[in-house]
Structure 1
Amino acid sequence: MPTTSIFYGSVYGAAERLAETVCEKLTAMGHSAKLIDNPQVEDVATAEQILVITSTTGQGDLPDNLLPLFLGLQNQFPLLTGKPCAVIAMGDSSYGDTFCGAGKQFEELLIELQGRIVQPRLDIDAMVDFDPEPVALPWVEKLAEQL
């Protein structure tokens, strides 16, 4: 069974905690999953399946721990040619047009790299759902069916 590599961008730890929970959930469902700390472009290029979980900072920006990977992917542009990809975006709808901006940017980049989005992006609104797990875990169950 292919391994799902989970890349996360977190400012205050919520996205990292969610990534850990999602990794545990996928594993409990019989899937192979791993968290990627300090990700490099090569980690994305060699991943069998890609899941990005990211919070949004500032005005729709990527968290500092995920930004170098994003910029590296833009610069090196490794084609993902049909590789299964999915994104969970976390944000705050009070920011208007930049709500979940980091996840939206990462999904667009995965598409540009010819990754295959296997499930519509999940946008989690901190204004509505303080705890992201009850929203994310049913989505992850559906994702597991697509992988």
Structure 2
Amino acid sequence: MKKIALVVGTVYGGAQYVAEQADAELQQRGYGCRLFLDPKLDDVLAYNADIWLVITSTTGQGDIPDNVQPFFLEARDRFPLLTDKHYLVIGLGDSSYDTFCGAGKQFVELLQELQGKPLAEPLWIDACETLEPEGIALPWLAQHLPAQ
């Protein structure tokens, strides 16, 4: 059974809700999942997931949400190579801002620098186009993470 670490960056709970829905669906499809709502790098590394799934909203001027910022900074500073890991990123944002999905884009850059292997291009979900991001995220995950 492949294991997935769901790393969540959320401000108002939207990304957390999407992650909770993804967690339930992925477990039904045979994946081992752990949701990291207040992620610590050592905890995520200790879980030893095959895939890191980052689901994050963006705050401020393209900033990473407070709950996941320490994780991001520690990963950037400690630089654990992820050469044997795959990743996916789902970013939630509002395209009326120049910093649309800025946090997700920062995670993509970091995961590339850490030499993780992308399973797909990132998914950017625009709040201007949908009020139910899980309706876009779950089919996208089913496409890129089929049942085990």
Q: Establish whether TM, by shorter chain, passes 0.5.
A: yes
Q: Is the 8 A contact 1:7 1:37 kept in 2?
A: yes
Q: Is the 8 A contact 1:118 1:146 kept in 2?
A: no
Q: Which amino acid aligns with 1:11?
A: V
What residue in structure 2 maps to residue 142 of structure 1? 143
Q: Which amino acid aligns with 2:72?
A: F
> Could you give the per-residue CA deviations for residues 84-137 of structure 1, whole angstroms, max 9, x where no partner exists?
1000000000002x1000000001100100000111100000010111011111
CA distance in 2 between partners of 1:104 and 1:146 (Å): 27
Unaligned regions of 5+ residues in structure 2, if any?
none
Aligned length: 146
What residue in structure 2 maps to residue 117 of structure 1? 118
CA distance in 2 between partners of 1:95 and 1:123 (Å): 13
Residue 44 of structure 1 deviates from its aligned partner by 3.5
SS in 2 for 1:65: coil
SS in 2 for 1:94: coil
What residue in structure 2 maps to residue 26 of structure 1? 26
Unaligned regions of 5+ residues in structure 1, if any?
none
The 1:23/1:63 distance shift into structure 2, 3 A limit, reads same
Q: Which amino acid aligns with 2:92?
A: M
Q: Which amino acid aligns with 2:77?
A: N
Corresponding residue to 1:56 among 33, 55, 58: 58
Q: Which amino acid aligns with 1:94?
A: S
What RMSD over aligned residues (CA atoms) do the two structures have, in Å?
Answer: 1.5
What residue in structure 1 maps to residue 38 of structure 2? 38
Q: Structure 1 vs Structure 2: percent identity of aligned residues?
A: 49
What residue in structure 1 maps to residue 128 of structure 2? 127
CA distance in 1 between partners of 2:134 and 2:57 (Å): 14
